Amino acid sequence: MIRTRYKNLGKMVQVHFERRRKIHLDALKRIQYTVRSLKVTVDGYNELFGWTNLFNICISLAKMLNLTQFVLTRMSMVKFSLNLLNLSFITWILGGTVIVIFMMDSVLMEFENMTRVCRNAKSFLKITHLEELKLNECFRFFEQNAPEFTAAKHFSIKRSLLPGILKVFVNFEVAIIGR
C-alpha cells in the first residue's frame, strides 16, 4: 500500500509538470505534505514492526544456517529425501526474508523514481529564479523526508542488506566445511 502511494505520487508529479510546464507553489506544498505524511506512515510501520522485522531476519538466518549445517555434516548419513526436504526449508526461509526485503526496497525505489522525475522536470521547465529556489527547497525537503525501513532502529532494511546476509551464510559454511 505504501509503495502504491509513492508510485501514484510520482505519476501525479510527472503529469503535473508535463501538462503545466510551470511550477505551482500550491502543488509543491501538496506534494510536500504527501511526502511528509508517507514518511510518518513509514516511521509508524517501523515502530510497529521494527522488532518483528529484526527477529524475522535474525531467526530466518539462524534457521537457514542450522539446516545447512545439518545437511552438510550429515549428508552421507541421511536419506536423500530428508536432505531435499531440508534444502527446500532453507529455500523457503530464505525466500520469505528476501521477499520482505525486496518489498521494502521497492518503496525506496519508488521514492527515488519520484525524486528523479522532479529533478528531470527542472531541466525542461521554464522557471524563474524564485521558482528555482522553491524547487531546490522542495528537493531538500524530499531528501530529509526519504523513507527508511529499519529493523528496530538497529540497521536499515534495503537491498544492500542481502550481501550482508550472504556474507554471514558463506562465512558460516566455510567454517563448517573447514572442520
The 10s digit of each residue's pLDDT in 42-51 is 999 889 988 8
Q: From residue 104, how far is each of 2, 77, 101, 108, 149 by CA, in Å?
A: 9, 41, 5, 7, 7
Residue 12 identity: M
The 10s digit of each residue's pLDDT in 28-75 is 888 889 999 999 999 998 899 888 888 888 888 888 877 777 777 776
What does the block give as the cell for 174? 566455510
> What number of helices (H) and strands (E) belong to the chain?
5, 0
What does the block give as the cell for 11? 505519476
The 10s digit of each residue's pLDDT in 145-156 is 989 888 887 887
Q: Are 151 and 54 in contact (CB under 8 A)?
A: yes
Question: Considering the entire predicted model, what is its pTM?
Answer: 0.76
Total of domains in the chain? 1
Domain hosting 13: range is 2-178
Burial of 174 (0-12, 13-18, 19+ CB in 10 A): exposed
What does the block give as the cell for 129? 529564479
Place of cell 552438510: 72
What does the block give as the cell for 14? 510527472
The alpha carbon of residue 13 and the mean position of all alpha carbons in its chain are separated, in whole angstroms, by 21
